[in-house]
Structure 1
Amino acid sequence: MAKIGIFFGTDTGRTRLVAKQIARKLGDAADAPVNIGRATLEQFLAYEALILGSPTLGDGELPGQSTGLAQPSWEEFLPQLAAVDLSGKVVAIFGLGDQKKYPDEFVDAIGIIHYALVARGARPIGYWPTAGYEFNASQAVDGELFLGLALDQINQPVLTEERLDAWLAQIRPELMP
């Protein structure tokens, strides 16, 4: 059975911790999470099933050097996919955001990554209900669903475990057919 690849971008380390939590919950089905800023394109493309995570920074931005990070992250990695065909790849995305401090761009990174990968042929899974969140706008919303799992480790940390378990139960059959 092929392993699931888990890649994440991070600013404060919270996304890395969630990526590690996901890997623990998936056990032998997943490889150890990799910081996208340290990943090669070949590593990324080696997986047919991917779980990708990112915080949303500032005014709805991906983490990257233009946002003040010392290391590359999603901002620098996504352009490498410009000429890549991702057909056949199954992708689930999770994102961290602060719905109270940034209610107009809550988990925008989910949407940015989602649309970049779908445009290259990836098949997204793991949409998540917007119910239970309080925000004004998000690039990660389609109707009543987020385009991935939205987590707010600042305002709703007690809900993370339950949300992760439910989301993984939802996506596991499509990641590991």
Structure 2
Amino acid sequence: MNKIGMFFGTETGTTRLVAKKLHKLLGADIADKPVNVNRIQPEELLQYDALVLGTPSYGEGDIPGLSAGCLERNWEEFLVQFGSPDLSGKRIAMFGLGAQERYSERFASSLIALYKVFEGLGAEMIGDWPLDGYTFEHSASVQDGRFVGLVIDQRTQGMYTDERLAAWAAQVKPLLMEKLAVEA
């Protein structure tokens, strides 16, 4: 597929909102519209070599899904269908949502759980993000002093969302587009 695939899981609609804003920043000419993973089959995600994946945070850093307390299917249920395909050659940037004041001891920790799944299947993971401007006790999504992907706290730092999305989009867009150029 000669576009960037965008997929997300959501419970309250906030991850969907962030994905739509990010899609607008990347541009419809190079990125397909974001789609909820509870509405697709694995083949639909697998057709892309460049992907942006988004997730809310649930539980104690669990992959969001019914067993983590979600009311509808999410990443957990999608991954059961997904299985263990070889994702070598795919490049993935991820973003995650969290609430740093309410869940300071496990801020945005679901991001790392999903990140590890895709990294473990051989995907090249890009798009790490600095910790500057966040206040929290612990996040499992921090590796080597940076978040493994963009982290958005729409609840208490919504005023920074657009700025963070724009900076992250500028960071990951050229790296994702490299995968499109290889295909062309």
Name the TM-score class by shorter chain.
over 0.9
Indicate the percent of aligned positions where both proteins have the same amino acid.
Answer: 49
The residue that corresponds to 1:24 in the other structure is: 24
User: Hey, what's the Cα distance between the residues in 2 that align with 1:173 and 1:26?
Assistant: 10
The residue that corresponds to 1:108 in the other structure is: 109
Question: Would you say 1:79 and 2:80 are equivalent positions?
Answer: yes
In structure 2, the CA distance between the partners of 1:63 and 1:83, relative to structure 1 (3 Å rule), is closer
The residue that corresponds to 1:45 in the other structure is: 46
Preserved contact between residue 61 and residue 113 of structure 2 (Cα < 8 Å): no
Q: CA RMSD in A?
A: 1.3
Q: Which amino acid in structure 2 is aligned with residue 121 of structure 1?
A: G
User: Hey, what's the Cα distance between the residues in 1 that align with 2:121 and 2:82?
Assistant: 8
Q: Which amino acid in structure 1 is aligned with residue 58 of structure 2?
A: L
Q: Secondary structure at the match of 1:176?
A: helix
Q: Which amino acid in structure 1 is aligned with residue 22 of structure 2?
A: I
Q: CA-to-partner distance for each residue in 1:102-124, whole Å, 9 max, x for gaps?
A: 01211112101111111110000
User: Hey, what's the Cα distance between the residues in 2 that align with 1:91 and 1:159?
Assistant: 23
User: Hey, what's the Cα distance between the residues in 2 that align with 1:59 and 1:128?
Assistant: 21
Aligned residues: 177
List gaps (5 residues or longer) in structure 2. Answer: 179-184
User: Hey, what's the Cα distance between the residues in 2 that align with 1:54 and 1:157?
Assistant: 17
- Once the two structures are TM-superposed, the CA of residue 144 in structure 1 deviates from its matched residue by 1.2
The residue that corresponds to 2:98 in the other structure is: 97
Question: Would you say 1:164 and 2:165 are equivalent positions?
Answer: yes
- Once the two structures are TM-superposed, the CA of residue 130 in structure 1 deviates from its matched residue by 1.0
Q: CA-to-partner distance for each residue in 1:113-160, whole Å, 9 max, x for gaps?
A: 111111110000000001211111112110210000000001100111
- Once the two structures are TM-superposed, the CA of residue 98 in structure 1 deviates from its matched residue by 0.2
Preserved contact between residue 95 and residue 150 of structure 2 (Cα < 8 Å): yes
- Once the two structures are TM-superposed, the CA of residue 54 in structure 1 deviates from its matched residue by 0.6
Structure number with the higher helix fraction is 2
Deviates more, 1:37-46 or 1:73-82: 73-82
Q: Which amino acid in structure 2 is aligned with residue 32 of structure 1?
A: K
Preserved contact between residue 59 and residue 69 of structure 2 (Cα < 8 Å): no
The residue that corresponds to 1:10 in the other structure is: 10
The residue that corresponds to 1:124 in the other structure is: 125
Q: Which amino acid in structure 1 is aligned with residue 164 of structure 2?
A: R
Q: Which amino acid in structure 2 is aligned with residue 55 of structure 1?
A: P
User: Hey, what's the Cα distance between the residues in 1 that align with 2:66 and 2:58?
Assistant: 12
Q: Secondary structure at the match of 1:150?
A: strand
User: Hey, what's the Cα distance between the residues in 2 that align with 1:66 and 1:166?
Assistant: 34
The residue that corresponds to 1:58 in the other structure is: 59
Give me the TM-score of the superposition, normalised by structure 2.
Answer: 0.92
